[in-house]
A and B are shown apart, each in its own frame.
Chain A
Amino acid sequence: MDIFLIVFLVVQVLIITLAVTTGFAYLTWYERRLLARFQNRVGPNRAGPLGLLQPVADAVKLFFKEDVIPTASDKVVYLLAPVLAVMTAIVIWAVIPFGCFNLNGDHTACFDPARRDEVWNALQVAEVNIGILFILAVTSIGVYGITLAGWASNSKYAMLGGIRASAQLISYELAFGMAVLSVVMFGGTLSTWEIVLAQEGLWFFFPLILGFLLFMISATAELVRTPFDLVEAEQELTSGYNTEYGSMKFALFFMSEYIKMIAMSAIATTLFLGGWRFPGLETLGDGVAALAGPWPAAIIVGLVSLGSFLLKVAMFLFMLVWLRASWPRMRYDQLMQFGWKSLLPLAILNLVMIPVVVVLVPDNRYIQTAILFVLGIAAIFGAARIGGRGRVKSKVELVQPVAEGKQASAASSAPASQQTSGVAS
């Protein structure tokens, strides 16, 4: 291998790692500001304009905190756990295409699956023929950091948090993998690059609407965020698996969580929203190429595709913050029931539905899309109806009959009747 290529690869990796870490820092700011908006507060706004220096202040604070290692802990594993957590969160980025900046100076090759060999993309580290499997493998390893942290701390709270986490991550990994596989089935490839190219003119969001929903739910569970965040339910477990971690080691866990959050958004973008594609991108490239030559066109296509990718990722991040602001936490039994009894059957249905439609309606992507879209919506509504039937009824309705006789005379009848009707509904 050429020594220049190796240096280039190392620089690429460094830039992505730094960018992702900075992205993490500003994601915390983004989330805190947005949450504050949702909750009618102001949020961090003291350090710098709009509070933009807040992440820097937090980082400095965490760096200078005392580094405590509990005496009863298993030291090596205790120190290994945060490293494993961050490592897996960063390694996922290797196979995600951020855009297409062809260093051979020809933007048209970016849009042609047949001309794969002519693309030397500066915006993707590794184009392997098993990109999707790589993502699944790395996410499945991500559970180690959390589990080991819980075990090595030798503390009840951390242990309970760790066990909850491993049970949850194992349960939702199945639905997650199946949702991802639906994209592989429809796109007909395991390479992330070819999946982006296969979404020409039709984002997989539309035919795979059911898969998209399953992906988003199980991804949220994999990220242990609300409503699936009972791994770190502070009322029960103080802080869950990272209770005994302080200083920079805590920051590493925090970091892995948020980097994973960005990574999941990036994966969702790549799989369902056309990755770096943007309507009219090819025409724009052709126009610039006609005016100023191939190199400016390659640069413009690279920049616009990167921008479009980041825009979609930011949208997903907004959605995740929005979810956190508006949902209560699930109970543990609800979590397990939902994962195994609702999500998994739906995922299997999804996996069966796609090949049947693709085989029965050959060679027309748009008719396939229409059928799959309708079937997907029907499945979602059907599942919601069936799932809603088994819901545990609120025990509060036992107090209902009291209001009946006194309703006419009592002055406080209006709020009382409101309450009962609220309970009944």
Chain B
Amino acid sequence: MSFELFMFLVTAAIALAGGVGMIVARNTVHSALFLLLNFFAIAVLFLLLHSPFLFAIQLTIYAGAIMVLFLFVVMLLGVESIEDRTKDRLAGQLWLSVVLTLILMVQAITITLLAEPAESQAQNTALLDQLADPALIGATLFTTYLLPFQITGVILLVGIVGVVVLHQRAHLYGPLSETEREFAEQYAAERTASGQPAEQAS
């Protein structure tokens, strides 16, 4: 067994363990940490595929930005434990997931079986090293794939604008009308009367 294959098997096992752990864990923070483990393992897989650039991007974006935000929100809201696990909100999703997984596996196995013979692998490796050059990736992104790149940028911008709009909803809809205010006051009075903490009417 070559060193590379050994590394691949270990890393793949860790990635799978992280994925399974993420689903099985009862605590949200533990889930997030398992997912983080999975991200790390996938970053190492990118290294094994001769792409240090994707390794760094995977760590910066997924591990460094997205998971940190997830953790931050979970911690801030204090929703560490999931209340009800027995109830299945989406009926039949278990069986659907099994079928989809099987389709994916068949696909993966077919592609592996149809792969090029081993003698061209050395050539492939050399090509991979060339392709992993960050300068080349940047140049391709800004010439051949400029339109998809710009569209992605616009989609991200839409997301940012959406956050700002949602944040300023009260401002957009103007002040509350007379009936709305009456209703809010009544609601608050009922809450205080029944012993619940008063909510701030906005």
Are A137 and B72 in touch, CB under 8 angstroms?
no
Given A140-B63, A140-B65, A141-B64: A170 and B72 interface contact (C-beta under 8 Å): yes
A166→B64 contact, CB < 8 A: no
B71 engages A166 (CB within 8 Å): yes
A141 to B56, CA, bound (A): 11
B58 closest partner in A (C-beta)? A137
Q: Does A137 contact B68, Cβ atoms closer than 8 Å?
A: no
Q: Which residues of A contact B3 (CB under 8 A)?
A: 1
Please, how many angstroms separate the alpha-carbon atoms of A77 and B76 in the complex? 17
A residues 152-176 touching B (CB-CB < 8 Å): 159, 162-163, 166-167, 170, 173
Answer yes or no: A128 CB below 8 A from chain B CBs: yes
Tell me if A136 is interfacial: C-beta within 8 Å of chain B: yes
Cα–Cα, bound, A129→B130 (Å): 12
Encoded as 1 (CB less than 8 Å from any A CB) or 0, chain B from 34 to 67 comes to: 0010000000000000001101110110011100
- Choose from A1, A137, A162 the contact partner of B60 (Cβ within 8 Å): A137
Residue pair B56, A137 in contact (C-beta under 8 Å): yes
Contact B68 A147 (CB under 8 A): yes
Interface flag for B75 (CB, 8 Å): yes
Determine the distance from Cα of A349 to Cα of B15 in the docked complex, in whole angstroms: 40
Across the interface, name the chain A residue whose C-beta is closest to B76. A163
State whether A144 touches B68 (Cβ < 8 A).
Answer: yes
B52 touches A130 (CB 8 A): yes
Chain A neighbourhood of B27, CB < 8 A = 74
Q: Would you call B33 an interface residue if the criterion is a C-beta within 8 Å of the partner chain's C-beta atoms?
A: yes
B68 touches A151 (CB 8 A): no
Interface residues in A88-137 (C-beta closer than 8 Å to B): 128-130, 133-134, 136-137
A77 engages B75 (CB within 8 Å) = no
Residue-wise, chain B 15-35 has the 8 Å CB interface mask toward A (1 for contact) of 000000000000101100100
Note all chain B residues with C-beta closer than 8 A to A181: none
A381 vs B52: C-alpha distance when bound (angstroms): 40
Q: Does B157 contact A (CB under 8 A)?
A: no
Q: Decide if A133 touches B57 in the complex (CB within 8 Å).
A: yes
Report yes or no: A130 in contact with B56, Cβ–Cβ below 8 A.
yes
Q: Which of the four size classes fits the interface of chain A?
A: 20 to 34
Q: In this assembly, does A138 line the interface, its C-beta being within 8 Å of a C-beta of chain B? A: yes
Assess whether B133 is interfacial by the CB under 8 Å rule: yes
Measured CA separation A74–B56 after assembly (Å): 30
Q: Give CA–CA (A352, B3) in the complex, Å.
A: 45
Q: Which residues of A contact B76 (CB under 8 A)?
A: 163
Q: In the complex, which residue of chain A has the Cβ closest to the Cβ of B72?
A: A166
B33 adjacent to A77 (CB under 8 Å): yes
Range, interface on chain B: 20 to 34
A144 to B33 Cα, complex, angstroms: 10
- Is the pair B72, A133 in contact by a Cβ cutoff of 8 Å? no
B159 close to A (CB within 8 Å): no
**Chain B residue at minimal CB-CB distance from A136:** B60
Majority-rule SS of A interface residues: helix
Provide the residues of chain B in CB contact with A321, threshold 8 Å. none
CB pair A133 B29 closer than 8 Å = no
Contact of B33 with A170 in the complex, beta carbons under 8 Å? no
Contact A130 B53 (CB under 8 A): yes
Shortest distance from the beta carbon of B165 to any chain A beta carbon, whole Å:
18
Q: Are A163 and B72 in contact (CB-based, < 8 A)?
A: yes
Which residue of A is nearest B138, CB measured? A190
CA distance A211 to B32 in the complex (A): 35
Q: Is B162 an interface residue (CB 8 A)?
A: no
- B148 within 8 A of partner (CB): no
Nearest CB to that of A166 among chain B residues?
Answer: B72
B residues near A129, Cβ cutoff 8 Å: 52-53, 133-134
Interface residues of A in 21-75 (CB under 8 A from B): 74
Interchain CA distance A80-B27 in the complex, whole Å:
16
Is B69's beta carbon under 8 Å from chain A?
Answer: yes
In contact, A190 and B75 (Cβ under 8 angstroms): no
Instruction: Determine whether the beta carbon of B68 is less than 8 Å from that of A136.
Output: no
Given contacts A129-B134, A133-B53, A166-B72, contact A141 B33 (CB under 8 A): no
CB-CB nearest in chain A for B47: A128
A77-B30, A77-B33, A166-B71 are contacts. A137–B52 as well, Cβ < 8 Å?
no
**Residue contact A134 to B68, C-beta cutoff 8 Å:** no
**Could you tell me the distance in whole angstroms from the C-beta of A262 to the nearest C-beta in chain B?**
21
Measured CB to CB, the nearest residue on chain B to A126 is: B52
A314 smallest CB distance to B (angstroms)? 29
With both chains docked as a complex, state the minimum distance between the C-beta of B195 and any C-beta of chain A, in angstroms.
25
Q: Are B29 and A77 in contact (CB under 8 A)?
A: yes
- Residue pair B33, A159 in contact (C-beta under 8 Å): no
B57 to chain A: which residues have CB within 8 Å?
133, 137
Q: Tell me the chain B residues, 74-97 only, with Cβ under 8 Å from chain A.
A: 75-76
CB pair A140 B60 closer than 8 Å: yes
Chain B proximity of A91: nearest CB distance (Å)? 11
- A219 touches B (CB below 8 Å): no
Cβ–Cβ contact A133 & B56, under 8 A = yes
Contact surface of A with B, Cβ cutoff 8 Å: 1, 74, 77, 80, 128-130, 133-134, 136-138, 140-141, 143-144, 147-148, 150-151, 159, 162-163, 166-167, 170, 173, 190
Question: What are 10 contact pairs spanning A and B, CB under 8 A?
Answer: A74-B27, A77-B29, A130-B53, A133-B60, A136-B56, A136-B64, A137-B63, A138-B59, A140-B59, A163-B75
